[in-house]
Chain A
Amino acid sequence: MFMFEKAIVGSRRYWIWLFCVLCVIAVGFVFYMYQLHVGLGVTGMSRNVSWGLYIAQFTFFVGIAASAVMVVLPYYLHDYKQFGRVTILGEFLAITAVIMCMLFIYVDVGKPARIFNMILHPTPWSPMFWDMISLGGYLFLNIVITQVTLTAEREEVAPPGWIKPVIILSIPWAVSIHTVTAFLYAGLPGRSFWLTAIMAPRFLAGAFCSGPALLILFCLILRKTTGFDAGQKAIDALGVIVAYAMVINVFFIVVEAFTVLYSRIPGDVAHLEYLYLGLDGNYHLVPWMWLSVLLAIVALTLLLVPSWRRNRVLLPIACVAVFLSLWLDKGLGLIVGGFTPSPLDTITTYTPTLPEWSIVIGIWAVGALMITVFYKIALAVHEEVGEEEVHQEDVLVARTASH
């Protein structure tokens, strides 16, 4: 499975990096054991803010997982050849992100030993049941797709014909994972901040800019560290995708804000007030939300001017800005803002604690470990095939010479 033998050969730098990542995972694991032993009270969550960083990170990374569709769709449906090299990177990113999502759910539940009650007592009228189905299915599809296409590449044969419909199925499936995740929140009668039909479209727009932005950054890192070149045209095309998706994302946020602010329904306005202006002397999220706005403006400015977007220095800055802006918006404000003020108008400050941050960073490190290993395998297969081609050419040249 997965040609893991390719991941256990590497340079000194590769092993040092893996060691560091494993150390971070170990710290997260120790804090998770502490949380498991003492209870979820070791986090900053409370009676009124009953979901926090874990669920927010889950939501954000569902978006990263779904964004693989932005390379899969052009490559397989429109035969956009430039994405030949990044498609496998996108699919591996999807696998990594889905596993991170599952870990974030796992660390959030109070009784993890009972988590299989969701399968033992399947409940199709709960959106959470469908989220499990869509995430699990998406993971399965991407594992099959990467396994089959990579094996075909290594054996230098065309992938089997049956994989094409599976890949095409993965496209609407990617949309479904983020739609169902939005439905988790958007169907609750008492939470006006989430009770909006634009939540799923907004989630998708946010996903389709933050995911490809991360993919661009990965391509640039790989170019520096391994010499693997995804192709300037592919990176430019990804830049265009990030630009469009970011514009649509910001447009959706403005649409949302207009409805709430112009109608002036106090219960709806209160959440935006709490996030962006501060409510009853509680300002602790305000700087972060404005930082998100500022980063969005910086990103849009850099992305909308074609020459800046193609600039090798400015593009990564724009990508980091997109990623951080969306992370603050979705990975922080969305969940906490939905809970505050509570239906009984109580403002409860939510501050993630040290164990909570350690567990979150531990799961990021699991993601970093997975992406490193997966990309190592993909690149090793790629190089192997490339070398063989060169080798065969040599043999051919030698033969012709001897004749």
Chain B
Amino acid sequence: MKITRKDFLRLSGLSFLAAGSMEAARAIAGRSPSAKDSSEHPAKHPVQWGMVVDLRKCQKEKGCTACIQACDSAHNIPQFSDPKHQVKWIWTQPYETVFPFIQNGYAEQSDAGIPVPLMCNHCASPPCVHVCPTQATWKRADGIVMMDWHRCIGCRYCMAACPYGSRSFNWFDPRPHISHINPDFPTRTRGVVEKCNFCEERLAQGLRPACVDACPEKALVFGNLADPNSEPRQLLRKRFAVQREPELGTGPSVYYLV
């Protein structure tokens, strides 16, 4: 049989297509990570990590940034002076922009301007995980939304999807902007997205998150939300707590006592 160049090109093109469609068919047959997790009944998983932020305790000492500093040095967070390029895992934002819905305007003492610590909410139904085209970000059965910096292609779809602004992109090479590199934690490269990981590397060693340990007022309370006797659950039972934008149905694992 004689194969002309044209036929060869056509055949190889077709075989590429066939291989590609097999791969796609396999993927469609599989299930989404969120679907997989829900089939494992996250409520039944013995551990669901979560955090409670006590805003009355936070900022007893004005201008305190202990939690931010602890996180920055633990996770090799680069420091950029231009706010456009900042990488933030935990940071603060004024109360009225975080909770615009609990302003009544007639309160004796205004909460306006009080800095509220923000981080990834590790949502029960995370929009970032839904949109990521490479599964570089996924939800673990224990509730943590993880990030694979080696798979991320840097499309930043997750940043558009996150309603909390919790994700940062490495606009430049971060390494020259890290004052002191912690050798126990990876640094990232330019072109990938990153965010708070609830210190899963410390949890694996039986430690609490760095920010929780660093807080002098013990305003950050971390624990297992699936355990009714855990510290965060006890607080949530007794005190009035809010989540950020609960109406979006994302189910944040971070609660604020206001």
Task: State which of B65-73, B83-91, B216-224, B233-241 sits at the interface with chain A.
Answer: B83-91
Is B168 in contact with A51, judged by CB distance below 8 angstroms? no
B256: CB under 8 A from chain A? Answer: no
Q: Which of A39, A45, A105, A188 contacts B172 (CB 8 A)?
A: A39
Question: Which of B151, B155, B173 is packed against the most chain A CB atoms within 10 Å?
Answer: B155
A133: CB under 8 A from chain B? Answer: yes
Q: Which of B20, B32, B34, B164 contacts A343 (CB 8 A)?
A: B164
B131: CB under 8 A from chain A? Answer: yes
B42: CB under 8 A from chain A? Answer: no
Q: Note all chain B residues with C-beta closer than 8 A to A187.
A: 131
Is A128 in contact with B170, judged by CB distance below 8 angstroms? no
What band does the interface of chain A fall in when counting residues whose beta carbon is under 8 Å from B?
A: 35 or more
A151-B85 Cα distance, complex, nearest whole Å:
52
**A110-B156, A117-B136 given; A47·B86 CB < 8 A:** yes
Shortest beta-carbon distance, A353 to chain B, in Å? 11
Is A128 in contact with B131, judged by CB distance below 8 angstroms? yes
Q: Which of A47, A112, A124 contacts B84 (CB 8 A)?
A: A47
Question: Which of A45, A125, A343 is packed against the most chain B CB atoms within 10 Å?
Answer: A125
Q: Note all chain A residues with C-beta closer than 8 A to B250.
A: 189
Shortest beta-carbon distance, B146 to chain A, in Å? 14
Question: Which of A50, A132, A184, A339 is packed against the most chain B CB atoms within 10 Å?
Answer: A50
Q: Which of B28, B134, B164, B171 contacts A118 (CB 8 A)?
A: B134
**A1-B9, A40-B191 given; A118·B133 CB < 8 A:** yes
A346-B83 Cα distance, complex, nearest whole Å:
11
Q: Note all chain B residues with C-beta closer than 8 A to A128.
A: 131, 133, 155, 157
A187-B131 Cα distance, complex, nearest whole Å:
9
Is A127 in contact with B153, judged by CB distance below 8 angstroms? no
CB under 8 Å from chain A, chain B span 139-161: 151-157, 159-161
Which residue of chain A has its CB nearest to the CB of B131? A126
**A114-B153, A189-B127 given; A47·B168 CB < 8 A:** yes
Q: Note all chain B residues with C-beta closer than 8 A to A115.
A: 153
The count of residues in chain B whose C-beta lies closer than 8 Å to any C-beta of chain A is 57
Q: Which of B20, B93, B127, B190 contacts A344 (CB 8 A)?
A: B93
Q: Note all chain A residues with C-beta closer than 8 A to B153.
A: 109-112, 114-115, 117-118
Q: Note all chain A residues with C-beta closer than 8 A to B248.
A: 189-190
Shortest beta-carbon distance, A341 to chain B, in Å? 10
Is A188 in contact with B131, judged by CB distance below 8 angstroms? yes
Is B84 in contact with A126, judged by CB distance below 8 angstroms? no
Q: Note all chain A residues with C-beta closer than 8 A to B245.
A: 190, 343
B249: CB under 8 A from chain A? Answer: yes
Is B133 in contact with A129, judged by CB distance below 8 angstroms? yes
Question: Which of B28, B83, B172, B190 is packed against the most chain A CB atoms within 10 Å?
Answer: B190
Q: Note all chain A residues with C-beta closer than 8 A to B83.
A: 46-47, 348
Q: Note all chain B residues with C-beta closer than 8 A to A119.
A: 20, 23
Q: Which of A123, A124, A339 contacts B132 (CB 8 A)?
A: A123
CB under 8 Å from chain B, chain A span 41-70: 41, 45-48, 50-51
Is A124 in contact with B27, judged by CB distance below 8 angstroms? yes
A115-B154 Cα distance, complex, nearest whole Å:
9
Is B131 in contact with A47, judged by CB distance below 8 angstroms? no
Q: Note all chain A residues with C-beta closer than 8 A to B133.
A: 118, 123, 126, 128-129, 132
**A39-B191, A110-B191, A121-B135 given; A191·B165 CB < 8 A:** no
Q: Which of A132, A190, A339, A342 contacts B127 (CB 8 A)?
A: A190
Is A110 in contact with B192, judged by CB distance below 8 angstroms? yes
B208: CB under 8 A from chain A? Answer: no
A29-B23 Cα distance, complex, nearest whole Å:
33
Shortest beta-carbon distance, B111 to chain A, in Å? 16
Q: Which of A39, A108, A120 contacts B155 (CB 8 A)?
A: A108
CB under 8 Å from chain B, chain A span 147-198: 184-185, 187-191
Q: Note all chain A residues with C-beta closer than 8 A to B172.
A: 38-39, 41
Is B84 in contact with A190, judged by CB distance below 8 angstroms? no
Shortest beta-carbon distance, B208 to chain A, in Å? 27
Question: Which of B23, B168, B171 is packed against the most chain A CB atoms within 10 Å?
Answer: B171
Which A residues contact B (CB, under 8 angstroms)? Answer: 1, 38-41, 45-48, 50-51, 105, 108-112, 114-115, 117-129, 132-133, 140, 184-185, 187-191, 338-339, 342-346, 348
Q: Which 8 A-B pairs have the closest CB atoms?
A: A110-B154, A190-B163, A110-B191, A41-B171, A46-B84, A122-B27, A128-B133, A39-B190
What would 22 A/B residue contacts be, using CB atoms closer than 8 Å? Answer: A39-B173, A40-B191, A45-B84, A46-B83, A47-B83, A48-B84, A110-B152, A110-B154, A110-B156, A111-B154, A111-B191, A114-B153, A122-B28, A124-B24, A124-B27, A125-B34, A126-B130, A128-B131, A188-B127, A344-B93, A345-B100, A348-B83
